[in-house]
Amino acid sequence: MIADDQTLRHTFVLANPWDRDVRILQASAHSPCCSTIDPTSTLIPRHSSLPIPVTFHPGFQAGKRRVDFLVATDAPDAERIALTLTADLTAAWEMTPLSGSPASLLTGRPGVMEMEVVCRRSENQGLPPPDGVESAGVEADLEDGPGDARDASGLSVARRKVRIRLPAHAEPGSHRAELAFTWAGGRRRVEPIHWIVRPWIRSTPSAVFLGASASREVDVRLEAEAAPFRVTGVSGATIVPTDGGAKAGGVVQTVRLAIAPAAAPAAGAVREITIATDHPRQPTVPLTVVITPRSEASR
């Protein structure tokens, strides 16, 4: 069965095998937000039965779903009767990244993300493939796909590829955009996409916590994406010469910095050290220094 925001209906039948009438004292659903139970009567005549209609609204949730109902009666051997409704639901819609589609970009470079949407149908339930896609902040195109196919359970399955062109960003950070898929009948479905922008040179640690009246030395590891580079200078700190320090050129450099507190530092103050490089895409690497009221630490 396809999960398409539908309401599932079922009718249980309670039998009364006793020589007297049985009264229903209470009927409740354990998940009242998405299910109901409504006995057609509060009395089950002797040697008779009573229909108990229930509903279950799983929304778009896929997988094995279950809801429990409880019926309380005045029967001495059946004071509490538990009823369970289960459903194995298949998602009508899925959007997943295609293999090799980047979730991150380097600063200053645009990129392309490719997603696949899968639509499943069964008779009057489910979704046909969307007719178009709209977006803000990115450019997206919906590509034609092969005709519908049948899966092992007999559902009609349509697949479409979405090609998303991500813009170049000058600074590292995380980004989000929304794709709005549209159908001819006016239906819309909005899906978020996420990606990150990373620097050409990564710094470990990226921040140093310094006691208000303390100074310290810290080893900073710089790792470039590809091109070798050299550290050419530092402002806001002093480079300490070491045997295993910065090399003449490589994709990984380690520098030891001596960091002194600023004049009259205040707890919570933030300043920045700038490490200069000859990398063609990232001439400087920032290192944040945070003044703390207690002992220093780094991350």
Q: How far, in Å, CA of 123 to CA of 155, rounded?
A: 9
**Rounded average pLDDT over 138-165:** 87
* Residue 245 in this model has a pLDDT that exceeds 60: no
Q: Which residues contact 114 (CB under 8 A, 6 or more apart)?
A: 97, 98, 101, 161, 162, 163, 164
Q: How far apart are the first and last CA of the chain?
A: 50
Q: Which of 16, 140, 124 is nearest to 75 (CA)?
A: 16
Question: What pLDDT was estimated at residue 14?
Answer: 95
Lookup: tokens for 252: 């990984």
Ordered domains of the chain (ranges, CATH): 2-90 (2.60.40.10), 93-198 (2.60.40), 201-298 (2.60.40)
pLDDT of residue 76: 86
3-class secondary structure, 50: strand
201-209: average pLDDT: 93
Sequence-separated (6 or more) residues with CB below 8 Å from residue 243: none
What is d(CA 186, CA 126) in angstroms, rounded to the nearest whole number?
A: 15
Higher local confidence (pLDDT), 297 or 76 = 76
Comparing 63-67, 166-170, 188-192, which segment has the lowest mean pLDDT? 63-67
Q: Which residues pair with 37 in a beta bridge?
A: 54
3-state SS string over 244-287?
CCCCCCECEEEEEEEECCCCCCCCCCEEEEEEEECCCCCCEEEE
Residue 296 has what pLDDT?
A: 47
pLDDT on residue 298: 47
Give the chain's mean pLDDT.
88
Amino acid at 49: S
Structure tokens at 285: 């690497």
**Other Cβ atoms within 10 Å of 77 Cβ, number:** 7
Distance CA 46, CA 16 (A): 6
Radius of gyration of the chain (CA): 32
Buried residues in 8-28 as b, exposed as e (16+ CB within 10 A): beeebebebeeeeebebeebe
8-17, 122-131, 183-192: least confident range: 122-131
**Rounded Cα distance, 133 and 118, in Å:** 14
Residue 101 has pLDDT above 70, yes or no: yes
Q: Is the pLDDT of residue 218 over 90?
A: yes
The 10s digit of each residue's pLDDT in 26-47 is 999 987 677 999 999 999 999 9
Give the pair of three-digit tokens for residue 31. Answer: 């998940």
Report percent pLDDT > 90 for the chain: 61
Q: Enter the pTM of the model.
A: 0.71
Residue 112 pairs in a beta bridge with 165
